[in-house]
Amino acid sequence: MKQLPSLTKKAHDNDEYFLQNQDCAKSEPMKDEEKTKDQLIEELRGLRQHLAAMEFGAQEHLQQMQDLERLNQLKDDFLDTVSHELRTPLANMTMAIQLLKNASENRKADYLGILERECLRESRLIKDLLELQELASRPRQRMCEVIDLGEWLHHRIEPFRHQAEKFQQELTLHVQVPIPKLTIDSRSLDRVVTELVDNACKHTVACGHIAVEAESSETDAQSVLVTISNTVEIPMGEQVRIFDKFYRIPSSDAWSRGGTGLGLALVKRVVVERLGGEITVFSQQGWTTFELKLPVSFTL
């Protein structure tokens, strides 16, 4: 007779099978749960990086918007100032013409003088505006040549000696030798030196001193220093704005000769862009000095 399997053993085997299946059933969800956690952490990390990138992009966009607003404001201010500066000489010329119509013979010369001054003022302003536009839009081809700086300065300063004598000013030139010859755009250098010396004469009172000096740089063998100094002091608060377009130092024009307010703005751009140099202003103890640091050779 065939023996049936023991019920106890069968039950025991079934329990063991059930427990094994229970262990498998438990282990599978645990693995899935761990996998889900890793995925969530990775997704959160990616989301955090994405949010950080979005925040950076938003800040960058905001900065660009603020820069555009500032540029638009500068443009509006510039156009307002240009309009005012162009209208003022025209208004003065119109007034002088009207007065000339009924002027006596002894007053006609005065009104003609007003016309001449305002025409020159308008002409200088337009010339400076065109030069600024040229600097901003396209670089002018440099016409470099080798110059003896001492001799060159002597010839450029000479025309101002009569002007200085007329206003009882002392104008001196000192070149410390030896000094290397320069390979430079002399036309641009002439623009800079003429503007700075003319400004010095304009802002120096009678019996004042204007000094032009040149020497080799002690800290850079490939550079020379040219300084234009005069006996007038610029307040510290004005120094930071002195190279701004249309900025004029209040009550500093000793001889009421006027100007366009663009001269020093042009000077700075010409020094940097056409001469490859630097310009710095120092003012203390009754003196103001504009220092030009120019490379011995700048032909790029």
Q: Give strand pairing partners of 146.
A: 183
- Which comes out higher in pLDDT, residue 249 or 293? 293
pLDDT (mean) for 157-179: 91
How many other C-beta atoms lie within 10 A of the C-beta of residue 252? 15
Enter the DSSP assignment of 180: -
Question: In which band, very low, low, confident or very high, does the pLDDT at 175 lie, cut at 50, 70 and 90?
Answer: very high
CA atoms within 13 A on the CB side of 200: 31
Q: What is the layout of strands, in order, in the sheet containing 209-216?
A: 170-175, 209-216, 223-230, 287-295, 278-284
Best CA proximity match to 275, nearest among 190, 216, 200, 151: 190
Pairing of strands 287-295, 278-284: antiparallel
pLDDT at residue 111 is higher than 50 = yes
The model's pLDDT over 32-51, given as tens digits with 9 standing for 90+, comes to 566 587 788 888 888 888 88
In percent, how much of the chain has pLDDT > 90?
32
pLDDT of residue 19: 45
Which of 8-17, 179-188, 247-256 is the most confident on average? 179-188
Q: Which residues contact 79 (CB under 8 A, 6 or more apart)?
A: none
Contact 124, 266 (CB under 8 A): no
pLDDT of residue 208: 92
Pairing of strands 170-175, 278-284: unpaired
CA angle, 43 then 48 then 49, to 5°: 100
pLDDT of residue 255: 45
Q: Which residues contact 236 (CB under 8 A, 6 or more apart)?
A: 283
pLDDT at residue 1 is higher than 50 = no
Question: Average pLDDT over the chain, rounded to whole?
Answer: 82
pLDDT of residue 10: 47
Look at the pTM and tell me if it is higher than 0.75.
Answer: no
pLDDT of residue 28: 53
pLDDT (mean) for 162-170: 89
Question: In which band, very low, low, confident or very high, does the pLDDT at 6 lie, cut at 50, 70 and 90?
Answer: very low
pLDDT of residue 257: 54
pLDDT of residue 252: 55
Report all structural domains of the chain as residue ranges with CATH numbers, in order of start.
1-138 (1.10.287.130), 146-295 (3.30.565.10)
pLDDT of residue 8: 43
Torsion sign (Cα): 265, 266, 271, 274: positive
- Rg over CA atoms, the chain: 39
Question: In which band, very low, low, confident or very high, does the pLDDT at 202 lie, cut at 50, 70 and 90?
Answer: confident
Enter the DSSP assignment of 233: -
- Which comes out higher in pLDDT, residue 57 or 289? 289
Instruction: Give CA–CA dist 289/282, Å, rounded.
Output: 5
